[in-house]
Structure 1
Amino acid sequence: MKTEYVDLRDGKDIDEGLYKAAQIIKNGGLVAFPTETVYGLGANGLDENAVPKIYEAKGRPSDNPLILHISEFDEIKNIVKEIPNTAFVLADEFWPGPLTMVFKKSNIVPYRTTGGLESVAVRMPSNKIARELIKMAGVPVAAPSANSSGRPSPTKASHVMEDLAGKIDMVIDGGAVDIGIESTIVDMTGEVPIILRPGFITEEMLSEAIGRVEVDEAVKSLVQGLDFKPKAPGMKYRHYAPSGKMVIYKGDSKKVIELINEEIKKLIGKKTAVLATDETKDLYEADIVVSVGSRQNAENIAHNLFDVLRKFDEMGAEIIFSESFDENKLGFAIMNRLHKSAGYNIINV
């Protein structure tokens, strides 16, 4: 398959490019497109023959549910059974935006889309290209991240082409994404909303809007669980992983730097790398040292994280050491991604 690349970064010929993309989705094909979080790999979420192509192209386990993307709130009514009052509040506060809500699915949503679950995850992205594409396609668009399963999520069209060229019909280049980590996922099917995946919309922001919110125990766990059926994307399998072996060091900053440098000295003949910060990047003795941003700016760290992880692969890093970050607010989502990137390989200093 030849993958068509459409560059919409200059704002020209957007209608023509999106029309072609929408026709591909209508006809059962696959289109990668930008959202404000990461690039998504889209197909008609109601087409039982189209959805399996997503899993095949990504090499994604079939029990890992997909998110349906909509362009307007009214589109949700056909794909869910009921909408609790708290969901209306969250939609009013955070849609369009980086929030996914899980509802009991309607009968028109195929189990292939939901990973066999009776629930469906729904999101309304704020990215204009994404919204217009969904609107022109006229169907809810199932779209996980547009990368090979397990690799760092794509924040640029070049990342998508690197992973999926020759496996999908089209890639739309809308430039680098704004946020850089996937949406927050909240289960709305019970009495108390439960966070299934942390993201840019934090627990504090959700609680301020609707009151009590809980975090799923699987999200808080520092052990990779393989014996349960995931309720949402990203809960069960190793994700966001570079090719090299990765380990996270947690604890006092000076001690972390000292111990990482000690380990680097032992690894003769191995290409070592460190995921550092602006404050520490000059203190390491590894072959490769890349800053993910300043500790004073969690949004910048989130934006850069996946791009940095991919750079380690480009540079041939074999062993990667990573600093850790405060796990409050957005830091919780950042560390969630790092834990999965390292396969929960953590050293407490």
Structure 2
Amino acid sequence: MNDIKKAAQLIRDGKVVAFPTETVYGLGANALDPMAVARIFELKERPAFDPLIVHVSDLEQLYGLTPDRDPRIALLAEAFWPGPLTLVLEKTSHVPDIVTSGLPTVGLRMPDHPVAQELIRRAGCPIAAPSANKFGRISPTEAWHVSKNLPEADYVLDGGPTRVGIESTIIGLRPDGFVILRPGGITREDLLGIIPESSEAPAPGSPEAPGMLASHYSPAKPFYLYSEALAGRIDPSRAGYIRYSGEIPLSFARVITPTQTADLREYATRIFGAMHELEASDVDVLVAQPVPENGIGIAIMDRLRKAAHDWEAGAV
């Protein structure tokens, strides 16, 4: 389905619409309508303490949601927007507390996808949108991932496969620079080309931004990062393997290679799709090869570790 006019009307009517961004598919509602936003939490089974990102169409819309006029906002926007960067800024009273989980700040970004941009413009309001999946499960990078896991959504806009494939980088601004709250499609090195990094660390305790919990992005089937220690504890004939590069270590029942060239950005665009494919297959266990932790590889490993967290904590 790709009727943007209909989807925009549904947003104005307080409904919930799944739509593509360049990162993953989002589950969107009018960010200024607390009842509509509450339905996002209900459909996703998302805990109330985990805040949402608000998507805007331009800087004018952004400045209606934050009183912050830090000149670094414009610098970052010029460099990375529209694109996969979320800024956590002080919120105005126009932003309902349910969006920010009671925090005084709100995550704001301008998505780089023509469908998302047109939807926000036609709806005439900022759109609050976490990933369009059940809370803690694999993020959706194609429309069928949404339909499989969230059939209750009022509408699904199909914009094809997403281009970046993992969620946006989320940063907070401190007096001396930025702090990365969640790694994503914009790397630390990208950011350092614009402003310095802060010496502060993210505050402990409740999440300052989405994606900061230890467990997230997890399949419904057991999921592990490959290691020699794991090799002796699984039956490869009942397991699927997501390969990055090199030799396949065991005789796995299914193998998916998201990139043939060991390109981390190409791998990032396909990792969630590979997880969805194996989850829907007849294998019992999913295993992923770790990737190098440089550039966007840091964000990829963040997702893989969080996807494996609860399964590995419980042992095989």
The TM-score, its normalising length taken from structure 2, stands at 0.93
Residue equivalent to 1:14: none
In 1, the alpha carbon distance for the partners of 2:307 and 2:250 equals 21
- How much does 1:278 deviate? 4.6
In 1, the alpha carbon distance for the partners of 2:200 and 2:85 equals 15
Asked if 1:171 corresponds to 2:148, the answer is: no
Residue equivalent to 2:147: 161
Structure 1 residues 189 and 22: alpha-carbon distance in aligned structure 2, compared to 1, 3 A threshold: farther
Structure 1 residues 194 and 308: alpha-carbon distance in aligned structure 2, compared to 1, 3 A threshold: same
- How much does 1:277 deviate? 2.5
Tell me which of 234, 240, 251 is aligned to 2:217.
240
Q: Deviations over 1:77-112 (max 9, x none)?
A: 110021312221111100011100010000110110
- How much does 1:242 deviate? 1.1
Native 8 Å contact 1:261 1:286 kept in 2: no
In 2, the alpha carbon distance for the partners of 1:245 and 1:109 equals 38
Identity of aligned residues (%): 39
In 1, the alpha carbon distance for the partners of 2:78 and 2:250 equals 46
In 2, the alpha carbon distance for the partners of 1:342 and 1:316 equals 19
- The secondary structure found in structure 2 opposite 1:332 is helix
Structure 1 residues 35 and 96: alpha-carbon distance in aligned structure 2, compared to 1, 3 A threshold: same
Tell me which of 212, 215, 230 is aligned to 2:197.
212
Structure 1 residues 89 and 239: alpha-carbon distance in aligned structure 2, compared to 1, 3 A threshold: same
Tell me which of 179, 197, 207 is aligned to 1:230.
207
Native 8 Å contact 1:37 1:183 kept in 2: yes
| 1:1-349 paired onto structure 2 within 5 Å | 6=1, 8=2, 17-165=3-151, 167-188=152-173, 190-213=175-198, 216=201, 228-236=205-213, 238-249=215-226, 256=228, 261-264=231-234, 267=235, 271-281=238-248, 283-294=249-260, 296-343=262-309, 345=312
Native 8 Å contact 1:228 1:236 kept in 2: no
Native 8 Å contact 2:28 2:129 kept in 1: yes
- How much does 1:199 deviate? 0.7
Residue equivalent to 1:221: none
Structure 1 residues 217 and 122: alpha-carbon distance in aligned structure 2, compared to 1, 3 A threshold: closer
Q: Deviations over 1:166-186 (max 9, x none)?
A: x12100001111110000001
- The secondary structure found in structure 2 opposite 1:210 is coil
In 2, the alpha carbon distance for the partners of 1:260 and 1:276 equals 15
Structure 1 residues 211 and 307: alpha-carbon distance in aligned structure 2, compared to 1, 3 A threshold: same
The TM-score, its normalising length taken from structure 1, stands at 0.84
- Give structure 1 stretches of 5+ with no counterpart: 1-5, 9-16, 219-226, 251-255
Native 8 Å contact 1:274 1:284 kept in 2: no
- How much does 1:261 deviate? 4.5
Structure 1 residues 237 and 52: alpha-carbon distance in aligned structure 2, compared to 1, 3 A threshold: farther
- The secondary structure found in structure 1 opposite 2:277 is helix
In 2, the alpha carbon distance for the partners of 1:172 and 1:194 equals 33
Q: Deviations over 1:109-151 (max 9, x none)?
A: 0110001110000000110110011011111100001111111
Structure 1 residues 41 and 238: alpha-carbon distance in aligned structure 2, compared to 1, 3 A threshold: same
Structure 1 residues 233 and 260: alpha-carbon distance in aligned structure 2, compared to 1, 3 A threshold: same
Structure 1 residues 216 and 146: alpha-carbon distance in aligned structure 2, compared to 1, 3 A threshold: farther
- How much does 1:187 deviate? 0.8
Structure 1 residues 316 and 239: alpha-carbon distance in aligned structure 2, compared to 1, 3 A threshold: farther
- Give structure 2 stretches of 5+ with no counterpart: none
- How much does 1:189 deviate? 5.3
Native 8 Å contact 1:46 1:110 kept in 2: yes
Name which of structure 1's ranges 70-79 and 320-329 shifts more when overlaid on structure 2. 320-329
- How much does 1:213 deviate? 4.3
Q: Deviations over 1:38-81 (max 9, x none)?
A: 11111000111110000111111111100110011111111002
In 2, the alpha carbon distance for the partners of 1:215 and 1:185 equals 15
In 1, the alpha carbon distance for the partners of 2:48 and 2:299 equals 25
List 4+ stretches of structure 1 deviating above 3 A. 213-218, 259-264
Native 8 Å contact 1:196 1:215 kept in 2: no
In 1, the alpha carbon distance for the partners of 2:124 and 2:289 equals 44
- The secondary structure found in structure 2 opposite 1:342 is helix
Native 8 Å contact 2:178 2:195 kept in 1: no
In 1, the alpha carbon distance for the partners of 2:173 and 2:119 equals 27
Native 8 Å contact 2:22 2:164 kept in 1: yes
Native 8 Å contact 2:176 2:197 kept in 1: no
